[in-house]
Amino acid sequence: MEVLKKALFTDLLKGMRVTLRTMFKPTVTLHYPFEKEKPRKRFRGIHALKLNPDGSLRCEACFLCATMCPSNVIDMEMTEGENGEKVLVDFTVDLTRCLFCGLCVEACPRDAIVMTDIYEFSQYSVDKLVLHKEDLLKLGEYYQKWERENK
């Protein structure tokens, strides 16, 4: 029986039947650059810095996100302001090393750093992948618009 099974290639024919059948099934692919998947609400994409309603920065440069970050992605520069408060000069996020774990978002006490749903951020040069304060604030505008519409 075993020999007969092998001689008649039953197992191979079974596999070929499967592939032939799938040939007539509808395709399941997304034509990516033309069709895009909408990310889920809790998807962790590129970072953003939120602003207060009055337009001032939410981030107080407490360094909690930078301390929390497992791969040292976040770096901040700050000076002392007139009344002795911390003033954020620059806030950099190095996307080349980021693993999008979301710990910075968890750590932030003021809900200043958030993660948007943007997943397409490839660049032709690596230094463009290091986001600075202005980039993050621009993304923050996008995020707050998205938040109003979706949450």
Which residues are known binding-site members for [4Fe-4S] cluster?
A: 59, 62, 65, 69, 98, 101, 104, 108
Unique residue bearing structure tokens 């408060």: 85
Minimum distance from CB of 12 to another protein (Å)? 7
- CB-nearer residue toward another protein: 26 or 53: 26
Cβ neighbours for 7, distance < 8 A, ≥ 6 positions apart: none
Residues at the interface with another protein (CB under 8 A): 9, 12, 15-16, 18-20, 22-29, 31
SS3 142: helix
Smallest distance, Å, CB 37 to another protein? 15
Annotated binding site: 59, 62, 65, 69, 98, 101, 104, 108
The minimum distance between CB 31 and another protein, in angstroms, equals 6
Nearer to another protein, 31 or 42 (CB): 31
Task: Indicate the residue among 15 and 39 with the shorter CB distance to another protein.
Answer: 15
List C-alpha distances in Å: 98 to 22, 51, 105. 39, 23, 13
* Backbone phi and psi for residue 79, each to the nearest 5 degrees, phi listed first: -130, 175
In the complex, minimum distance from the CB of residue 86 to another protein, in angstroms, rounded to a whole number: 51
Q: Compute the distance between CA of residue 120 and CA of residue 37 in angstroms, rounded to an integer.
A: 11
Minimum CB distance to another protein smaller for 1 or for 23: 23
Q: Which residues contact residue 71 at a Cβ distance below 8 angstroms, ignoring those fewer than 6 apart?
A: 97, 98, 99
Q: Where are the alpha helices (DSSP H) in 34-91?
A: 64-68
